[in-house]
Amino acid sequence: MNPNVPTGNDSETVRQYFQYLYAHYLSGITQQYYIHWDVIAFVILWIFILVAGFYAYTRWQRYTRASKEPYPVETYNGYIQEGNGPVGLFLRLFFIGMGLWLLATTLHDLLRGQIY
């Protein structure tokens, strides 16, 4: 038996015993951390893909028009331009992809739980 551990059953000895346990607990705590560079790189990659895709889509939309637009391009004071037309292929594929990703993420969380 460790001689540093207080023994006895009166209130002061019990208090010393719990103070000893608390000090022992605090002496064993060390702060350790690890930076998961793979997760950071994955997030940066996705941000790059989304920004590049959005940029490419806006450049593509600027210079292409639907074949049968119901209304002509409207201009307000040279600052706002709006083209009305049908939903393009990019947006259809984007929303289908987002819907499938949402479904897969939901099923994964339900089946395997959330992993933090």
The amino acid sitting at 108 is H
- Tokens 């933090």 appear where? 116
Distance between CA atoms of residues 59 and 100, nearest Å: 26
Instruction: Provide the 10 A C-beta neighbour count for residue 66.
Output: 12
- Written as tens digits, the pLDDT of the chain (116 aa) is 677 777 778 888 888 888 888 888 877 777 777 888 888 999 999 999 999 999 998 888 777 766 665 555 555 555 555 555 567 788 889 999 999 999 998 888 888 877 65
| CA–CA distances in Å: residue 96 to residues 47, 56, 82, 100, 101 | 19, 19, 25, 6, 9
pLDDT value, residue 85 = 59
Per the confidence metrics, is the pTM higher than 0.75?
no
- Domains of the chain: which residue ranges? 1-32, 35-112
What does R_g of the chain's alpha carbons equal in angstroms? 31
pLDDT value, residue 98 = 95
pLDDT value, residue 29 = 72
Sorted by sequence, the CB contacts under 8 Å of residue 73 that are 6+ apart come out as: 81, 82, 83
Distance between CA atoms of residues 28 and 1, nearest Å: 20
pLDDT value, residue 52 = 95
pLDDT value, residue 99 = 93
Residue 76 pairs in a beta bridge with: 80
